[in-house]
Structure 1
Amino acid sequence: MKSILLIDDDTELGELLQEYLALEGFELTPVHNGESGLEQALKGHYDLILLDVMLPKINGFEVLRRIRAESQVPVIMLTARGESVDRVLGLEHGADDYIAKPYHHHELVARIRALFRRIDMTGDSTTTAAEGAIQVGTLVLTPSDRGVCLDGENLVLTGAEFGVLQCMMEHAGELVSKDTLSMSALGRSLMAYDRSIDMHVSNLRKKLGRREDGNDWIKTVRSRGYLLVKS
């Protein structure tokens, strides 16, 4: 049974989700403020964290920032509908995905299953690729241990960032559509006005820096997708 931590100050919602997700095969632990949620996230062993933005004591962005300083556990941000700034900030701070409130329980379960499906698919592929790394120039990705090394130094990536990079490295020199990247990184199709892949690519660019020739590792093909430079 997958273990999920919910950090949300809505106690009634927490109780309802705890019962509903149990029927779907998930074990949910609700926590109702940012301070307790952060403590629980860092000391517990959870497969996923559902994190609200508006929290008492410590807001969701700060909770996420502190979690990411110590852990790469998958995080789905819960944001107010229409607050696109919150979604962008959540992704910039290292969230894997987001879902707008209010949401239907079926939608939340679908998003959770999509993320776990992506993680499980990555795990399955690592068994066949355990002996071989993917290398593009000085950038090396090893699926077996989900490691990424650039110029001999290890990079720390979130699960979504790793999924995006792996997909692009497997198709180095080729255009990869945003929808393909979304399926690889998030386990779901891209939605209208969804900037999640754009933000994950932006975060990757910051972590990868420039190539030896001074150019970016990743090129944008406007309205179509992205391309990892092969040489």
Structure 2
Amino acid sequence: MIEDDAVIREATSIGLERLGYHVLGAEDGLEGLELFRRLQKEDPVDAVLLDVMLPTMNGTQVCRQMRGFSNIPVIMLSARGEGLDMVTGLDAGADDYLAKPFDLQVLDARLRAVLRRTAMPQANTVAHGEPVPDAKGLDIDPHRLVVTLDAREIHLTPTELKILLMLSEDPGVVVSRSDILSEVWGYTWDADHRVIDVHVQRLRRKIGASRIDTVRGFGYRLQDEAP
């Protein structure tokens, strides 16, 4: 947990420890990034809680650095809870976003959801069947969990991959934002659908913007034929 407010950091750590987590903390961005780098070599962590407003290096900068060498789930935290903070954090590579003050049970649910998404080989409810080929070079293999574009493997985060697998189950069929939120994020409460929209934007940048259609007011569909 990278959080400069000692009270929040310690209270959250104690609460999570009681729920069975082991929590390590850092109080500024640079310290947290270096701790994360060291742990990845020695004793890798399972997830990162990352505050937006941090001294030495803000949370968005830290997240971008982390995404250069790791796909470990990142949940951004912000006291402001502003839409711009959320979009900026997600666009930097975060998997989810939570505004402070937050309920510990909600944080626990979010953590369990992102951790499930990293266990992709067991997530066989998302996609089945044979690899999904695309006439212009996009291939999605739901068994090996590999996506290639023109024979080149595409680097996707677990969240991006799970969204793509869900859309590829029935190319051309619209999938609602609510269904994506439930299946990928595991939410059973109302949430901001911009979380999904930002991840889809990131996915489009990697596989081609025209491959995923937006159906206004409803959701998304994967092109059943190459554009």
**CA distance in structure 1 between the partners assigned to 2:126 and 2:207 by the alignment:** 26
**Alpha-carbon separation, structure 1, partners of 2:203 and 2:217:** 19
Q: Report what 1:228 is aligned to.
A: 222
CA distance in 2, matches of 1:125, 1:157: 16
Residue type of the alignment partner of 2:26: V
Unaligned regions of 5+ residues in structure 1, if any? 1-5, 211-215
1:13 match: 8
Amino acid paired to 1:14: R
SS in 1 for 2:133: strand
- Counterpart contact for 1:182–1:190, Cα < 8 Å: no
Unaligned runs of 5+ in 2: none
Distance 1:105 1:192, change over 3 A: closer
Partner amino acid for 1:224?
F
Confirm or deny: 8 A CA contact 1:130 1:142 kept in the other structure: no
> Hey, what does 1:174 align to over in structure 2?
173
Quick one: structure 1 residues 176 and 129, their matched pair in 2 at CA, closer, same or farther if it must change by over 3 Å?
closer
Alignment of 1:1-231 (within 5 A): 6-44=1-39, 45-120=44-119, 122-125=120-123, 132-137=130-135, 138-189=137-188, 191-209=190-208, 216-231=210-225
Once residues 128 and 181 of structure 1 are traced to their aligned partners in structure 2, the CA distance between those partners, rounded to angstroms, is 10
Q: Hey, what's the Cα distance between the residues in 1 that align with 2:92 and 2:189? A: 20
Higher strand proportion (structure 1 or 2) = 1
| Contact kept? 2:30, 2:56, Cα under 8 Å | yes
TM-score, normalised by the number of residues in structure 1: 0.87
Deviation at 1:21, TM superposition (A): 1.0
Displacement of 1:158 in angstroms is 1.5
Confirm or deny: 8 A CA contact 2:131 2:139 kept in the other structure: yes
Worse-matched range after superposition: 154-163 or 9-18: 9-18
Q: Which moved more, 1:129-138 or 1:66-75?
A: 129-138
Alignment partners' CA distance in 2, 1:89 and 1:187: 22
Give the AA of the match of 1:196.
V
Question: In structure 2, what is the Cα distance between the partners aligned to 1:168 and 1:73?
Answer: 23
TM-score by length of 2: 0.88
Aligned match of 1:213: none
Measure, in 1, the Cα distance between the counterparts of 2:174 and 2:207. Answer: 19
The question of whether the paired residues in 1 share the 8 Å contact of 2:73 and 2:118 is answered with no
Q: Once the 2 structures are TM-superposed, how far is the Cα of residue 222 of structure 1 from its aligned partner?
A: 0.5
- Distance change (3 Å), C-alpha of 1:102 and 1:56: same
User: What RMSD over aligned residues (CA atoms) do the two structures have, in Å?
Assistant: 2.3
In 2, the alpha carbon distance for the partners of 1:13 and 1:164 equals 32
Q: Report how many residues are paired.
A: 220
Cα deviation digits, residues 111-133 of structure 1 (max 9, x gap): 1122223444x331359989953
* Residues 52 and 124 (structure 1), Cα distance of their counterparts in 2 relative to 1, 3 Å cut: same
Identity across matched positions, percent? 39
Mean Cα deviation higher: 76-85 or 97-106: 76-85
Cα separation, 2, equivalents of 1:144 and 1:188: 25
